[in-house]
Amino acid sequence: MANNLINAGFHVVVHSRSQGPVTELVAMGATQADYPGEVAALADVVCTCLPDAEASETVYLASNGLVAAARPTNLFIETSTIAPSLARRVAADAQASGAGYVDAPVSGGVEGAEKATLTIMAGGETSDVERAKPVLQAMGANIHHVGGVGQGSVVKLINQLLVAVHTQAACEAMLLGIKAGADPAQLLDVLSSSWGTSAMLGRTGPLVISGDYGSRAPMRLIAKDIALVSELASETGLSLPLVERATAAIDDAMKRGLAESDIAALASLYSL
């Protein structure tokens, strides 16, 4: 995503706990910052993409974080998947400093990030979302303003509900077909033009066939996201049986040491 911002002509300031990507981006022309607050001091528009709520809260609200260094010219764009309540809390603190805030989580995986074809769900004031658009359009192909702050996170969590449930369904469907004697490649080809198809079936099917799951979409991230989905469901008073079933399968996968494996490795639970 930072690479695409550089390619779009933006002057990019970078900071990460992992030095490798920073070194790589600096070699491409980016400027390195040593802590989050320095990013806010050097850049008017600040994008964050972080692995979990704890990291997001720290980067924004710690003493050396973004909000502490916020200026009225700053616009913060949070692309991480976090709880809507956290997005609203961080936004309130940022806005108290005069800065703007948009929660703009993304979907499309590593491939979408690399090709700048991400779908981006933006929640925030119209003026802030409009200001964010040139930056978002450098990283994504489908930009949607879905409401006020926090609504971007709501829509992303609905997406993650479907990712989790559809991935589990795709794993079970492929395994059942294979065990029942269907040709795996033909099965996937037939399903791709049938009612039962889905984006996650198209992604998961080839991985189940090969048995080489890799780690492009790590299980630990969908585990974090499905927990946030359950939290949101609880807040709204909904009981979601499919979410509960998917959560149990993902928890099982985590206990079996699959945290760094791709979410398609749910298929391996049925043969371990």
The alpha carbon dihedral of 37, 39, 45, 46 has a sign of: negative
Q: Cα torsion for 51, 53, 56, 61, to the nearest 10°? A: -160
Do residues 162 and 137 share a domain? no
Do residues 78 and 107 share a domain? yes
- Backbone φ and ψ of 56, nearest 5°: -65, -45
Catalytic one of 115, 133, 156, 255:
156
The alpha carbon dihedral of 152, 120, 248, 253 has a sign of: negative
Do residues 142 and 200 share a domain? no
- Catalytic residue check, 179: no
Which is more confidently placed, 212 or 270? 212
Do residues 194 and 256 share a domain? yes
Read off the pLDDT of residues 178-208 as tens digits, 9 standing for 90 and up. 999 999 999 999 999 999 999 999 999 999 9
For the domain that residue 77 is a member of, what is the CATH number?
3.40.50.720
Whether residue 101 is predicted with pLDDT greater than 70 in this model: the reply is: yes
Task: Name the residue range of residue 187's domain.
Answer: 154-270
Do residues 135 and 206 share a domain? no
Q: How far is CA 263 from CA 33, 195, 249, in A?
A: 33, 23, 11
In angstroms, rounded to a whole number, what is the distance separating the alpha carbons of residues 4 and 114?
A: 8
Do residues 29 and 159 share a domain? no
In angstroms, rounded to a whole number, what is the distance separating the alpha carbons of residues 23 and 238?
A: 46
Do residues 216 and 129 share a domain? no
Q: Give 233's contacts (C-beta < 8 A, 6+ positions apart).
A: 239, 240, 243
Read off the pLDDT of residues 124-168 as tens digits, 9 standing for 90 and up. 999 999 999 999 999 999 999 999 999 999 999 999 999 999 999
Structural domain count of the chain: 2
Do residues 240 and 161 share a domain? yes
Q: What is the pTM of this model?
A: 0.95
Do residues 142 and 164 share a domain? no
State both tokens at 238.
């909904």
What is residue 4's predicted lDDT score, i.e. its pLDDT?
97
Domain stop point among 147, 163, 197: 147
Domain stop point among 147, 162, 188: 147
Read off the pLDDT of residues 57-67 as tens digits, 9 standing for 90 and up. 999 999 999 99
Do residues 62 and 192 share a domain? no
For the domain that residue 201 is a member of, what is the CATH number?
1.10.1040.10
As a whole number, the mean pLDDT across the chain is: 97
Do residues 253 and 195 share a domain? yes
Domain stop point among 113, 147, 181: 147
Give the model's confidence band at 270: pLDDT under 50 very low, under 70 low, under 90 confident, else very high. confident
Instruction: Please check whether residue 101 is in contact with residue 76, taking contact to mean a CB–CB distance below 8 angstroms.
Output: yes
How far is the first Cα of the chain from the last one, in angstroms, to the nearest whole number?
Answer: 36
